[in-house]
Chain A
């Protein structure tokens, strides 16, 4: 009963505890990144002629390198292994030590790595850091799609070298995506909310294939095939990847808008500058001619003039436009290279003043595209998107509405929505239905949409 074998058990367990403890200590003190740091020190010491410096380099104690980016709410430890990222002498070094060329103002010490590249900044193990592990939403972005990340900060204006972003944003607002998808709180709820799409664990390849043929990657998806071209699918993919509601600190948001001449030209058109000003004599003469204005005045003077014209020229009739810093810079950039030919171009595209009715139809057309009516009913109101087990098997055309409905009836349907009438009453519910719009559209908006619809009605060929 005294237990003769107990001492053996006791010592065996003690030995086992010691072995496990040593194993744990060994595992903790030999992380992957120390190996990379040793390799990097060897690389650094290679070309070092001075023996003392060489020894000092080799003896650099291993340590975690991290950038605390409070403004971006992240901590990036990538430089623990990617040690040469800001060292130009490492231009030809093998990965992970290579220098990151062409960063411009986006220095790693201010921006870190993951805001553009994705991956897991906090991790110090290769697979985990690259985000190729379960439970990490944003794996590292492949080179092919990396420029999409510019849109995470540069949400307005155009981003030079990334026309895809501007195009993707334009497609989103004109093809009626908001009809089904919410973005930043505005849009329908038939499809998923896209506000955080860029932070979701979806591969860019998936997105691109999805835009080309929704049903091929997501069986039974209610999303119609918009027959996008490859370029358009790519542009939309870029735009999707850039979508995130992450808060960027003031330092980053102040730089979001890139002051490009292209954006300046857009502002020049939108703000109707040509109504008062001229460029090289082309335009209106009420304000000063703007050709060469950047040579006559300093940049600071021009900026001040755009902020507060009264301050610079008391009695000036120029209104305050309330433009943000980078918008003003963009305007100045445009003025520096504006030509009379371009002014002529702008003038020729200016639309004639519209009647109230035309304004109303135009507003209706915009809403029809923006809120996604076009997604199902077609940009030309032709309908035809398949809707199994609905009457006719597809979304109805709106070209002959006035034959069967009064304006008030149509307004009621838009306001309150309607289920698709069934083809076979016992069959499944059709995937598409007319949602209720009264939360999103005001009565005036709806009225304008109906005006737009009526403007497109075709006379019925049959007459009874």
Chain B
């Protein structure tokens, strides 16, 4: 029996989970779990603080990778076959339609959740010092998510895919000087074709997912190093600079009650790096409000994972992923529309190619990237950030309105047609 126990102990080296030591070791000694702290503040687990949007986004990505790999077994990125493979998934492959549905709906869900996550972080001012750069990484992850969704959009090789990508890449080509070349490099030619499909496929299954995984690791690691989640705004103490004190970043202004290094004592590496004795990293009062990650945080994350998977499976069971007729470069649908998240830009392009294709997207991305460096006031309380909140709300609302108009209110010839009016004889 000793033999079996030895093997067991060599794999799971922690104490039993009944003890506090065991609970801590579960986190410390596990490569996957040690991105968590051993203990988390109860206030940070509150649903209404984060809505678990970051987790849900990550779990959607996990669902996408899993279903995506399964789909890769059935897919050939070559024009006539690509579409036939979609039909095979739909009609012949066991659970193929279900898999494809999950992948499709999870992809749309991820675009939405990434955006909502960004809104949450903005409204709780969680991008402020020292988290500025993590916000920048978040914006890059948003762009990568859009890129993943956009490249995946072409793969079914149906009319929807072909024309959405044609329109989408056309919007990109309005960029001065480089626009045309970028489009040509992306498509491997002047129009969407075999070369473009292969390039989009490689970007979709290899390049972009690797980039997302790398940046996600950095994103998570920084959350941890910046002191975990930001404190909920309703917990902020009125007008005290200390609210910003977090591990690794003592406020510059406040006097650091550093202990003078004593020659009689040996300091650990962590103490040297943070400049604080180890017992000060979590204050005793915070210690009272903290619980072990196991099981409290992990359990909640498991629920978020379950809810995400259930949501995606339910969508897939109830709604088939769309698949139109085989891509036909000779037959332009009227109107030809980009994927929905680019319809705001297409709407702007319909008024001015320069505005929608160049000015608006460039300004939007730049504005998002520099937010944490321009909004320098340290206060996170809404009362002190009226301007920022107003500007961001207008930004979000403008985007939503443009997307809704582009999606539902644009008919043949990009004429303003409300969704409840049916245009007869629009096609052909």
CB distance from B346 to the nearest CB of A (A): 22
Chain A, Cβ-Cβ closest to B80: A73
Pick from A7-15, A156-164, A361-369, A438-446 the stretch touching chain B: A7-15
Q: How far is B100's CA from A24's CA once the two chains are assembled, in angstroms?
A: 13
Interface members, chain B 306-323 (any A CB < 8 Å): 306-307, 309-310, 313-314, 316-317, 323
Chain B residue numbers with a CB within 8 Å of A419 are: none
B330 interface hit (Cβ, 8 Å): yes
**Contact residue among A2, A21, A122, A136 (Cβ-Cβ distance under 8 Å from B91):** A122
B300 interface contact, C-beta 8 A: yes
Taking CB atoms and an 8 Å cut-off, the chain B residues in 379-418 that contact chain A are: none
Select the stretch in A25-33, A36-44, A142-150, A311-319 that faces chain B: A25-33
Whether B310 contacts A123 by the Cβ 8 Å rule is no
Answer whether residue B234 sits at the interface, using C-beta atoms and an 8 A cutoff.
no
Instruction: Find out whether the CB atom of A192 lies under 8 angstroms from the CB atom of B428.
Output: yes
CA A218 – CA B158 in complex, angstroms?
Answer: 28
Whether B42 and A1, one on each chain, are in contact in the complex, defined by CB atoms closer than 8 angstroms, is: yes
Tell me, in angstroms, the Cα distance from A16 to B306 when the chains sit together. Answer: 9
Residue from B92, B300, B323 whose CB has the most chain A CB atoms within 10 Å: B92
Verify if A232 is at the interface (C-beta below 8 Å from B).
no
Whether B303 pairs with A9 at a CB distance below 8 angstroms is yes
CA distance A16 to B323 in the complex (A): 28
Contact partners of A196 in chain B: CB under 8 A: 330
Say which residue of B80, B90, B306 sits within 8 Å of A10 (CB atoms): B306
What CA separation (Å) do A122 and B303 show in the bound complex?
Answer: 40
Q: Does B6 contact A (CB under 8 A)?
A: no
Q: Which residues does chain A contribute within 8 Å of B90, judged by CB atoms?
A: 123
Q: Is the CB of B94 within 8 A of A28?
A: yes
Residues of A within 8 A of B42 (CB): 1
Q: Is A128 part of the contact surface with B, judged by Cβ < 8 Å? A: yes
Is the beta-carbon distance between A124 and B91 smaller than 8 angstroms? yes
**CB 8 Å contact bits of A114-151 with B (1 = contact, 0 = none):** 00000010111100100000011100000000000000
Closest chain A residue to B88 by CB distance? A122
Contact A24 B291 (CB under 8 A): no
Contact of A16 among B45, B91, B302, B310 (CB under 8 A): B310
B92 in contact with A64 (CB, 8 Å): yes
Q: State the CA gap A73–B428 with chains docked (Å).
A: 26
Find the A residue at minimum CB distance from B326: A137
Q: Is A6's CB under 8 angstroms from B91's CB?
A: no
Chain A residues positioned under 8 Å from B95 (CB to CB): 24-25, 28
Q: Within residues 88 to 107 of chain B, which ones have a CB less than 8 A from any CB in chain A?
A: 88, 90-92, 94-95, 97-98
Report the Cα distance A120→B91, complex, angstroms. Answer: 11
Contact with A along B140-172 (1 / 0, CB 8 A): 000000000000000000110000000000000
Identify which of residues 56-93 in chain A touch chain B, using a CB-to-CB cut-off of 8 Å.
64, 73, 75, 77
Pairwise interchain contact A123-B87, C-beta atoms closer than 8 A = yes
CB of B299 within 8 Å of the partner chain: yes
Q: Name B310's contact: one of A20, A27, A192 (CB within 8 Å).
A: A20
Q: Which of B158, B291, B317 contacts A2 (CB 8 A)?
A: B291
Instruction: Check A17–B317 contact: CB distance below 8 A.
Output: no
B306 engages A21 (CB within 8 Å): no
Chain B residues 51-90 with CB under 8 Å of chain A are: 80, 84, 87-88, 90
CB of A427 within 8 A of chain B? no
With known contacts A28-B98, A123-B87, A196-B330, A136–B317 Cβ distance under 8 A:
no
Q: Which residues of B contact A125 (CB under 8 A)?
A: 91
Closest 9 CB pairs of A and B: A122-B87, A13-B306, A135-B324, A124-B91, A20-B313, A1-B42, A28-B95, A24-B98, A135-B325
